Chains A and B, each alone.
Chain A
Amino acid sequence: MTPFLEVSGVSKRFGGVQAVSGVSFRLGQGMIKAVIGPNGAGKTTLFNMVSGFAAPDRGTITFGGHPIHGQKPHQVAARGISRTFQNIRLFEHLSALENVMVGRHLRSRAGFLAGMLDLGRARREAAAVRARSLEVMAFLGIEGLADAEATSLAYGQQRAVELARALASDPALVLLDEPAAGLNMRETRDLAGLITRVRDRGVTVLLVEHDMSLVMEICDEVLVLSYGEKIAEADPRTVQRDPQVVKVYLGEEEC
């Protein structure tokens, strides 16, 4: 199978810190893959490079055969890659529904003129965007939050709204940056089910996660980073037994 997302030898340096060095990996369509590693291992930098928030110093990233490294975030998004943020980044002063509707920006067209003149075309499109956004919220079981101010919601609910926003664009690949951070055990279990259902709808998932139970439960593959380098890449069982991984990462928690 041709890889869906192919990252080849990407490196990124911030001042004196080599955040990511020479990391390569592939992600097949319909997979759930986790990037794990201790704090400062370069997981978020890797994510930022895939989503266009940071340009790699070296290396290439292709998605569906198109090079996307060095492109701007909105260009990467237009290729069908959506993301969430480690520190939830919801739009202040917008309702939860409006937040999700912004997620559908790429799937709608109306510009300045159509909007200002309130053309029928723009109205119909807005109604469709609204309906589809409510559908996505219903899929995540949060349609009841539609009219609440997004940034005033409880933490777990904000995470769900952010996920809905990321899914509203019907992405081919969604990047989840620590989706379980700040969630309690029950919420994390719900999230695991949710991510699996997202994948079952045909969305490929790449996630950064600290919660090992979540990673082991739902992921097809795990990529382990340490000090910016890839030290392992395999299925969860194999990774768990990898002595090097145990040493740098799991060992600290299990021994």
Chain B
Amino acid sequence: MRPAVTPPVNRYGHVGLFLAGAAALQLATAATGKAFLLTQLTMSAYYTLAVVGISLLMGYAGQISLGHAGFFAVGGYGSAVLTTLDLTPWRAQPLVAVAGRLGLLLAHADPYGGELLVVQPAAAGLLAVLLAMALAFLIGIPVLKLKGHYLAMATLGVGTIVYSIALGTQWLGAADGIAAVPPFPLPLGAEVSGRAAGRVTNYYVAVALLAAAMLLLLNLVQSRVGRALRAIHGAEDAASAMGVDTADLKLKTFVLSAALAAVAGVFLTHYNGGIGPSEASVMKSVKYMAIVAVGGMGSLWGTLGMSLTLNFLSLRGYFGIYDDAVFGLILVGMMLFAPQGLLALEPRRALAALRLRLRPAPEEPR
């Protein structure tokens, strides 16, 4: 069992420590000439952004989701399409014209020397995230009435639909996905892109975004809403008897976690310069869930640490062709031996649990 009482921790201090640790890691890679590792660390940080949102949903609101890769992909694809689709043929269309006058459009050269008229990355990203949130809201209303494995199956269905659409739609690039996604400009001349020159900057951008999201979530779980969410997780009927509108809070949490996944999708797509249908695959959702399970249901920091580590190892190819199998195994192992997460585990208790699992049940005396 987790310790019951969340101690009155200094959340801001912890986030500061995290930032300091991330900076130390960057300096270490620079000192040892391994700056190339920052690429996978950056990608891992973006995936972790999605994972901590799922941690809120699963660990605090007690809702399971096997569809969050779908929301991630809606963010990524949304931004990719809007920033690569040439709007020149629709120039005269009122909507396009208005967007142009508002400065939301951007003309830039395509790789073949032509000129493209596309949506500004910032506007595209915002639209993509709003789209994912709207989708989560519409799906969440009926789906969140379900519980346990019914909810898991319904969200699995949602994820599968997004995956099938990404895979089967020609203008989404079908199996190839969308490439040549332009950089995402940031203030002070920085940009989210895969250019080697901006590697360190991009690492800090991802880390800062993750730190900001963590701070918001840590604040939330200690707030009135967070307390109500934990109450729903503990005893839903009693929470509603105390006036907690459980359906409303669950829906909002679902939308919030979808938004985080979509933001991650947007930035990772601009960082990678493209996105493919595998980002929407159910295996990705399973991976996210496995990481939340390892990190500990209801432990945002545990989930963050596990996610950064496991995603990094996975992206570096340490698990080879067994990557999916590794995460499947992790999920099975966690559910069997440590449903509360690895960090909640005491070694002695774990051994006892292991012995208990492996020993055949004693026969009933006749």
Residues of A with Cβ closer than 8 Å to B? 51-53, 72-74, 77-78, 82-83, 85, 89-95, 98-99, 101-103, 105-106, 108-112, 114-118, 122, 125-126, 129, 147-152, 165-166, 169
Contact = CB atoms under 8 A, between A and B. Distances in A.
Contacts, number: 123
B238 interface: yes
Given A94-B230, A95-B4, A126 B237 contact: no
Nearest to B232: A91
B244 A91 contact: no
B217 interface: yes
8 contacts: A90-B238, A94-B231, A95-B4, A98-B230, A110-B225, A111-B225, A116-B220, A126-B223
Given A91-B235, A93-B298, A77 B242 contact: yes
B62 to A, nearest CB: 10
Given A112-B256, A116-B216, A117-B216, A85 B223 contact: no
Contacts of B234: 90-94
Which 7 residue pairs are nearest across A and B when measured between Cβ atoms?
A115-B223, A149-B4, A91-B234, A77-B243, A106-B243, A89-B238, A73-B240
Given A95-B5, A106-B242, A114 B223 contact: yes
B230 to A, nearest CB: 6
A82 B224 CA distance: 19
Contact of A74 (B5, B222, B230, B243): B243
Interface residues of B, number: 34
A101 B5 contact: no
B217 A116 contact: yes
B74 interface: no
A78 B242 CA distance: 8
Given A94-B231, A122-B224, 14 more contacts: A74-B246, A82-B242, A94-B5, A102-B228, A102-B239, A106-B242, A106-B243, A108-B224, A110-B225, A111-B225, A112-B225, A129-B224, A151-B4, A165-B242
Given A89-B237, A92-B234, A102 B220 contact: no
Nearest to B245: A74
Contacts of A118: 219, 223
A112 B2 contact: no
A125 B224 contact: yes
A93 B220 contact: no
Contact of B227 (A85, A101, A117): A101
Given A51-B241, A169-B243, A102 B227 contact: yes
A73 B231 CA distance: 15
A103 B238 CA distance: 9
> B238, B245, B298 — which one has the most chain A CB atoms within 10 A of its CB?
B238
Contacts of A117: 216, 219
A103 B240 CA distance: 10
A108 B3 CA distance: 27
B227 A93 contact: no
A149 to B, nearest CB: 3
